[in-house]
Amino acid sequence: MSKKPDPCWTFEEAWAFHLEEIRQNPSMQFDPSSQFSRWCGLQKLLQLQIQFEHGDQLSLMRALRECARTGLPMPDWVAKNYILAFDTILNYRAKSWDEVFGKPFPKGGNLNATKKKRDLKYAVLNDINAILQAKPDTPIDVSLFESVGQKYAIGKTLAAEYYYAVKASYKSPD
Q: Hey, where are the domains in the chain?
A: 7-104, 106-174
Give the pLDDT band (50/70/90) at residue 171.
low
Give the pLDDT band (50/70/90) at residue 5.
low
Confidence (pLDDT) at 174: 43
Confidence (pLDDT) at 153: 92
Q: What does the alpha-carbon distance between residue 37 and residue 52 come to, in Å, rounded to a whole number?
A: 22
pLDDT at 27 over 90: no
Confidence (pLDDT) at 1: 47
pLDDT at 172 over 60: no
Up-side HSE of residue 8: CA atoms within 13 Å toward CB?
1
Which residues have CB under 8 Å from 160's CB, separation 6+? Answer: 142, 145
- Least confident interval from 4-13, 38-47, 67-76, 133-142: 4-13
Mean pLDDT, the chain, whole residue set: 88
**Mean pLDDT (whole number) for 126-144:** 92
Phi, psi of 132 (to 5 degrees): -65, -30
